[in-house]
Amino acid sequence: QKYKIEKKPLLVENLLSPYLGSDFKNLQKQIVYHLEHTLPRNTKTFQSFGTYLATSYTIRDRLLQLSHDTQKYYNEKKVKQACYISIEYLMGRFLRNAVLNLNLEEKYEQALAGFGYALEDIYDEEQDPALGNGGLGRLAACFLDTLATHNYPAWGYGLRYNYGLFRQSIGSEGEQVEKTDVWLQFPYPFMVENHFLRIPIGFYGSIETYVDEKTKGTRFKWHPSEYVIAQANDILIPGYGTDNTNTLRLWSCRPIEELDFDKFSLGDFKGASENRLNAENITNVLYPNDNEVAGKELRFKQQYFLVAATLHDIIRRLKEQKRTIYELPDFAAVQLNDTHPTLAIPELLRILLDEEMLTWEEAWDITQRTFSYTNHTILPEALERWPVKLISHLLPRHMQLIEAINWKFLEKVRKIDKNNGELTKKMSLIENSWDTLVRMAWLAIVGSHKVNGVSGIHTNILKNIVFQDFHSFYPNKFVNVTNGVTPRRWLHACNPKLSELITSTLKSNDWIYDLAHLSKLREYAENEDFQLKWAAIKTFNKRKLQAYVKKELKIDIGCDGVIYDIQIKRIHEYKRQLMNVLASIHFYLKIKKMSKEEKTKVQKRVSFIAGKAAPGYLVAKKIIKLINRVSNVINNDPEIGDLFKVVYLPNYSVTLAELLIPATDVSEHISTPGCEASGTSNMKFVLNGGLILGTLDGANLEIMENSGEENVFAFGITSKEVPQVKQRNIEQGAWNLMPEELQSILGIIEEGKFGEADEFRGLLEELKGVDRYITGHDFIPYIKELENVMSTYQKPHKWWKMSILGCAGSGWLSSDRTIKEYAEKIWGIKPCPLPKIESDKELG
Ligand code: NBY
- 3-class secondary structure per residue, 72-132: HHHHHHCCCEEEEECCCECCCCCHHHHHHHCCCHHHHHHHHHCCCCCHHHHHCCCCCCCEC
Distance between CA atoms of 277 and 257, rounded to whole angstroms?
11
Residues across the chain: 844
pLDDT for the residue numbered 193: 95
> Residue 753, SS3?
coil
Is the C-beta atom of 676 inside 6 A of ligand 1? yes
Is the C-beta atom of 136 inside 6 A of ligand 1? yes
Domains of the chain as residue ranges with CATH: 78-92+128-480 (3.40.50.2000), 487-813 (3.40.50.2000)
CB 19 within 8 A of CB 61: yes
Per residue in 461-493, pLDDT (tens digit) is 999 999 999 999 999 999 999 999 999 999 999
Is the C-beta atom of 453 inside 6 A of ligand 1? no
pLDDT for the residue numbered 293: 87
Is the C-beta atom of 537 inside 6 A of ligand 1? no
Is the C-beta atom of 90 inside 6 A of ligand 1? no
pLDDT for the residue numbered 843: 42
User: DSSP alpha helices (H): ranges in 351-386?
Assistant: 360-370
pLDDT surpassing 60 at residue 652: yes
Residue closest to 810 by CA, chosen among 706, 701, 713, 697:
706
Number of neighbours of residue 60 by Cβ within 10 angstroms: 20
Distance between Cα 134 and ligand 1 center (Å) = 6
Chain-centroid distance, C-alpha 613: 16
Nearest protein Cα to ligand 1, atom 16: 290
Which one-letter amino acid corresponds to residue 640?
A: I
Average pLDDT score over the chain: 95
How would you classify the pairing of strands 332-337 and 81-85?
parallel
Per residue in 355-391, pLDDT (tens digit) is 999 999 999 999 999 999 999 999 999 999 999 999 9
Nearest protein Cα to ligand 1, atom 12: 136
CB 239 within 8 A of CB 150: yes
The pLDDT of 58-75, averaged and rounded, is: 94
Residue closest to 814 by CA, chosen among 1, 145, 125, 24:
145
Distance between CA atoms of 94 and 126, rounded to whole angstroms?
8
Per residue in 730-748, pLDDT (tens digit) is 999 999 999 999 999 999 9
pLDDT for the residue numbered 23: 86
pLDDT for the residue numbered 18: 46
User: DSSP alpha helices (H): ranges in 283-421?
Assistant: 297-320, 328-331, 344-350, 360-370, 388-394, 396-416
Chain-centroid distance, C-alpha 205: 35
Distance between Cα 248 and ligand 1 center (Å) = 20
**Between the CA atoms of 580, 581, 583 and 589, what dihedral angle is there, to the nearest 10 degrees?**
170
Is the C-beta atom of 396 inside 6 A of ligand 1? no
> Residue 225, SS3?
coil
Per residue in 679-696, pLDDT (tens digit) is 999 999 999 999 999 999
CB 663 within 8 A of CB 683: no
Residue closest to 59 by CA, chosen among 92, 22, 99, 24:
99
The ipTM is: 0.99
Residue closest to 360 by CA, chosen among 392, 401, 316:
401
pLDDT surpassing 60 at residue 709: yes
Distance between CA atoms of 812 and 820, rounded to whole angstroms?
11
Is the C-beta atom of 677 inside 6 A of ligand 1? yes
Per residue in 772-802, pLDDT (tens digit) is 999 999 999 999 999 999 999 999 999 999 9
CB 252 within 8 A of CB 843: no
Distance between Cα 74 and ligand 1 center (Å) = 32
Atom of ligand 1 nearest to the CA of 287: 26
pLDDT surpassing 50 at residue 840: no
Partners of residue 372 on adjacent β-strands = 335, 450
pLDDT surpassing 80 at residue 43: no
User: DSSP alpha helices (H): ranges in 150-244?
Assistant: none
Distance between Cα 679 and ligand 1 center (Å) = 9
Best residue among 89, 165, 289, 291 to mutate for probing ligand 1's pocket (most ligand atoms within 8 Å of CB) is 291
Max CA pair span of the chain: 98
pLDDT surpassing 80 at residue 824: yes
Nearest protein Cα to ligand 1, atom 13: 136
Atom of ligand 1 nearest to the CA of 374: 11
DSSP character at residue 354 = I
pLDDT for the residue numbered 13: 43
pLDDT for the residue numbered 757: 78
Distance between CA atoms of 198 and 255, rounded to whole angstroms?
11
Per residue in 290-308, pLDDT (tens digit) is 888 888 999 999 999 999 9
pLDDT for the residue numbered 19: 52
The pLDDT of 435-444, averaged and rounded, is: 98
pLDDT surpassing 50 at residue 115: yes
Residue closest to 232 by CA, chosen among 201, 189, 198:
198
Is the C-beta atom of 291 inside 6 A of ligand 1? yes
Beta strands in 490-600 (DSSP E): 563-568
Nearest protein Cα to ligand 1, atom 20: 290
Per residue in 95-104, pLDDT (tens digit) is 999 999 999 9
Residues that are catalytic: 376, 569-570, 575, 680, 684
How would you classify the pairing of strands 385-387 and 436-439?
antiparallel
Is the C-beta atom of 811 inside 6 A of ligand 1? no
| Alpha carbon distance, N-terminus to C-terminus of the chain | 31
CB 546 within 8 A of CB 559: yes
- Percent with pLDDT over 70 in the chain: 97
The pLDDT of 410-429, averaged and rounded, is: 95
Number of neighbours of residue 266 by Cβ within 10 angstroms: 11
CB 683 within 8 A of CB 699: yes
Long-range contacts of 793-799 (CB under 8 A, 24+ apart): 793/563, 793/603, 793/665, 793/666, 794/603, 796/531, 796/535, 797/526, 797/528, 797/531, 799/691
CB 108 within 8 A of CB 98: no
Distance between CA atoms of 200 and 252, rounded to whole angstroms?
12
Distance between CA atoms of 843 and 832, rounded to whole angstroms?
20
Q: How confident is the model at residue 2 (pLDDT cuts 50, 70, 90)?
A: confident
Nearest protein Cα to ligand 1, atom 22: 291
Q: Which residues of 228-258 are buried (b: 16+ CB within 10 A; e: fewer)?
A: bbbbbbbbbbbbbebbbbbbbbbbbbbbeee
Per residue in 182-211, pLDDT (tens digit) is 999 999 999 999 999 999 999 999 999 999
